[in-house]
Structure 1
Amino acid sequence: MKSKDVQNIVLSKYQNGDTPTEIYRDLNGGVGLATIKRWCQMIRRSGGIKLASPPGRPRIVRTKENIRKVKNRLRRKKRVSARKLSMELDISDRSVRRILRNDLGLRPYKKIIEPALSDDQKVKRKQFANWVRTNFRKKETLKILFSDEKFFDIDGVYNSQNDRVWAVDRADADKKGGVKQKRKFPQKVMVWLGVCSEGITPLVIIDKGTVDHACYIEKVLPIALEYGNKVFGNDWIFQQDGAKPHQHHLTQQWCRDNFPSFIDKDRWPANSPDLNPLDYSIWDEFANAINWNKVKSKTTLIQQLKSSVEKIRESVVFESCASWTNRLYRVSQNDGNYLR
């Protein structure tokens, strides 16, 4: 609310018989009690509130003209940093940030990367969510064994937005580990993992060759079958995404012949990592459990993967699987759009 509007409210209330304290309470502290008393004194003397000049020190940089320039610049190009605005408009970086935050009420947000969903994919996601919610009870969804593959390389996990080093200057930051070196072709391995409400499967590491349907059938599916039967007996469901080795007709046939039940390739929606607990929770938990300082080669990477998988918290695994039906409800409510 503008200052002139507040003054008019104070004037009206005081003329209607309200005391300064009552006016202060009605405004919820929007204006100080001392200011309201001073304005009421002006009203008694002259019949209105007349300020000789705006309160506070006059603005030199954050003028209406500069605010307008920043606003117009953002209209032309929404993606621009405060530093670039400062250089283009010849305004200090601090003043630009104050204009953005205080005068325009804006906040910086990091751009989020998410899958580009087609209209057809959104429809199938919504159909899948409704199918599960119609045909499965909550306790039955807790018997789903979710699975996924992921590459890990020896350079580790690095988040440029969150990994910060506090130091007095750049040289000091470099000494404290402020430089992240990245190899052009780092050694990497593929890992497979399954999770359910009861825990996690043994980790399968594939460090040689590519993962085709034959490798998947030989090295991965028997591990999933053994774990699922051990935990749930003959009453459980296997899930896998739409990767090519999973969609192969021999893979689908193996699943039909061996698993008590599984979500086939025509049912699971494409482009939906937000519906797999591994993608929206467990992989991050796993990566954070690894001591990347000890990873120097493919051998040490494999050692860390094997030891760190046991550090994944049981509570995180259970909560990520138990919340799956809630995510499906959100998908059915938001017309199949991606969940953040």
Structure 2
Amino acid sequence: VNREVVRRIARTVHRPYRYIKQPKLRPEDPPRRLRFAQWFVNKERRTPGWARRICFTDESTFTQAGVFNKQNSRYWAPQNPKWVRDVENQHRWSVNVWGGILGDRLVGPVFFDGPLNGEMYLDMLRNELPRLLEENPVAHLNMWWQQDGASPHNARPVTDCLNEMFGRRWIGYRARGVRKWPPRSPDLTPLDFYLWGRLKDICYQEEPTTQENMIERIRAAWNQITPEELARVRGHLVRVMQCAVEHEGHHVQPHMKY
């Protein structure tokens, strides 16, 4: 999560307590990222506003001492607060949450008891997702589904379910559809370059007390994200993809102008 990205979109200042750089790209990664970004940019050019039909999704873990996303190796807390040091030796707990961005609205949140696995993810797709999408008008306009290459996303029952729900309109590591999601690309998804950092800044204004307290905070922070904010996020996403094309699939953050 780039601090300037969040500041520009939300008009607030977010300070990373500790930031670990982007995943190192392998030699085969830039061409994959370039192909995906070219496809995205071409679709948006031919049909302006097409990007709002993609439901970008991700999971993150919130703890009592900050928010840590294992997939993207990031740890966040506001202003290096004293309470982070105070809780280091206390009983540790965490909250695992899934979320999505579709159009100008958030989808979720969905909370998981323990680490996510394929069975839990499949249950969410079948039993939670239809309800979450009911009131989102974009969901009825041939929406697309995006997910990264996390192991629970690649279980055969999960991919079969996605094929049934979305046909060729989904993006993932084992997608049967038009385009595969490029590995090691958190900088290309708005949940990673924006949403999780935005939520943490709200949730960690004060020391969290219990798992239940953190869940309440996440729900409250979720409801503070406005459609106008998410429209700006989508505009930034288009620029991110254009930048990825211009720089042949390499990391975009060093080249973005905010």
When normalised by structure 2's length, the TM-score is 0.75
CA distance in structure 1 between the aligned counterparts of 2:213 and 2:26, rounded to whole angstroms: 41
Deviations 1:207-233 (A, max 9, x none): x23311110010255433444454221
Q: Is the 8 A contact 1:194 1:224 kept in 2?
A: no
Residue 241 of structure 1 deviates from its aligned partner by 0.7
Give the share of equivalent positions with the same residue, in percent.
Answer: 21
Match of 2:160 in 1: 253
Match of 1:265 in 2: 173
Match of 2:97 in 1: 191
Quick one: structure 1 residues 306 and 265, their matched pair in 2 at CA, closer, same or farther if it must change by over 3 Å?
Answer: same
SS across alignment from 2:25: coil
Q: Is the 8 A contact 2:43 2:50 kept in 1?
A: no
Deviations 1:168-226 (A, max 9, x none): xxxxxxxxx587324256200100011123210121011x2331111001025543344
Q: Is the 8 A contact 1:238 1:263 kept in 2?
A: yes
1:218 lines up with 2:123 in the alignment: yes
Residue 111 of structure 1 deviates from its aligned partner by 8.3
Residue 291 of structure 1 deviates from its aligned partner by 5.0
For these two proteins, the number of residue pairs brought into alignment is 218
Q: Alpha carbon RMSD of aligned pairs, Å?
A: 2.6
1:123 to 23, 27, 31: 31
Quick one: structure 1 residues 214 and 284, their matched pair in 2 at CA, closer, same or farther if it must change by over 3 Å?
Answer: same
Q: Is the 8 A contact 2:153 2:159 kept in 1?
A: yes
- Corresponding letter in the other structure for 2:170: F
Quick one: structure 1 residues 111 and 195, their matched pair in 2 at CA, closer, same or farther if it must change by over 3 Å?
Answer: closer
Residue 159 of structure 1 deviates from its aligned partner by 5.8
Higher helix share: 1
Deviating runs (4+, > 4 A) in structure 1? 157-160
Quick one: structure 1 residues 222 and 293, their matched pair in 2 at CA, closer, same or farther if it must change by over 3 Å?
Answer: same
Q: Runs of 5+ in structure 1 lacking a partner?
A: 1-109, 166-176
Residue 263 of structure 1 deviates from its aligned partner by 1.2
Write out aligned runs for 1:7-26 (5 A). Answer: none
CA distance in structure 1 between the aligned counterparts of 2:96 and 2:152, rounded to whole angstroms: 14
1:140 lines up with 2:50 in the alignment: yes
Match of 1:235 in 2: 142
- Corresponding letter in the other structure for 1:149: E
Match of 2:79 in 1: 163
SS across alignment from 1:151: strand
CA distance in structure 2 between the aligned counterparts of 1:316 and 1:305, rounded to whole angstroms: 17
Higher Rg of the two aligned structures: 1
Deviations 1:7-44 (A, max 9, x none): xxxxxxxxxxxxxxxxxxxxxxxxxxxxxxxxxxxxxx
- Corresponding letter in the other structure for 2:100: G
Higher strand share: 2
Q: Is the 8 A contact 2:76 2:197 kept in 1?
A: no
SS across alignment from 1:268: coil
Q: Runs of 5+ in structure 2 lacking a partner?
A: 1-17, 68-74, 175-179, 254-258
Write out aligned runs for 1:26-37 (5 A). Answer: none
1:278 to 166, 191, 205: 191
Residue 309 of structure 1 deviates from its aligned partner by 1.3
Residue 322 of structure 1 deviates from its aligned partner by 2.6
Quick one: structure 1 residues 159 and 302, their matched pair in 2 at CA, closer, same or farther if it must change by over 3 Å?
Answer: closer
